[in-house]
Chains A and B, each alone.
Chain A
Amino acid sequence: MSYTSAALLAVALTVVLDLFVLRTRLLTRKVFWTAYGIIVFFQLITNGVLTGRGIVFYDGDAIIGSSSTAGQAPQLLGDGRIVFAPFEDLLFGFALVVQTLAWWVWWGRRVDR
């Protein structure tokens, strides 16, 4: 499985987790989308540093774009990349953030300390 298909699958499973498994329904809330807008902005900066410095680099066979190399900046925009990072990272980040916030709300209904 490529990173592209793994990331798409993760997004689908994450939506199911929020709406139907934990029933936290964050994806239906204004508070989530406002917070997520802020988070994506800072994700682009942070991930831009990680990928633009080549701290993390990717195999072109696993992503829409081409391979990158350790310690070297890939294309800033285009070739499947957004601020140096493969666009797949936005899907990965969405899954990470939504799963985190869904569990946070789920646990908040049970413990508040």
Chain B
Amino acid sequence: MTSLAYLLVLVACLVGTAPLELVLGTRVYARWRRLLLTLAPVVAVFVVWDLLAIRAGHWDFDPTQVTGLALGGLPVEELLFFVAIPICAILTLEAVRAVKGWTVGDER
């Protein structure tokens, strides 16, 4: 079970923010094309930074707390981090907009 530690943190983030989509109607997952287009440049930039940082020895991961699945030297959890955390951030922004009605900048 310990090897699932990192993965479970990410699952907790997505489960914890899911009510924003369901209750407040943030329509983040619903607008999945826009979401994928948003994630593409972010994942690209931060995966490159992550790989460079790991190579430079800035940080590393406890092998006992990750699944061991890796893509090009990057633990799969790190890749999923750059998907899960952006989704949580967008859900938060849309939740604040839903509640407060403030301008975000994409209004037409």
Which residues of A approach B to under 8 Å, CB–CB?
1-3, 6, 10, 24-26, 29-32, 34-35, 38-39, 42, 46, 49-50, 53-59, 61-63, 70-71, 96-97, 99-101, 103-109, 111-113
Given contacts A3-B53, A3-B59, contact A38 B96 (CB under 8 A): yes
The digit string for B68-79, where 1 denotes a CB below 8 A from any CB of A, is 000000000000
CA A97 – CA B39 in complex, angstroms?
A: 11
Give the tally of cross-chain contacts (CB within 8 A): 142
Contact call B89/A31, Cβ cutoff below 8 A = no
CA A61 – CA B53 in complex, angstroms?
A: 12
Interface size class of B (residues with CB under 8 A): 35 or more
Residues of A with C-beta under 8 A to B96 = 31, 34-35, 38
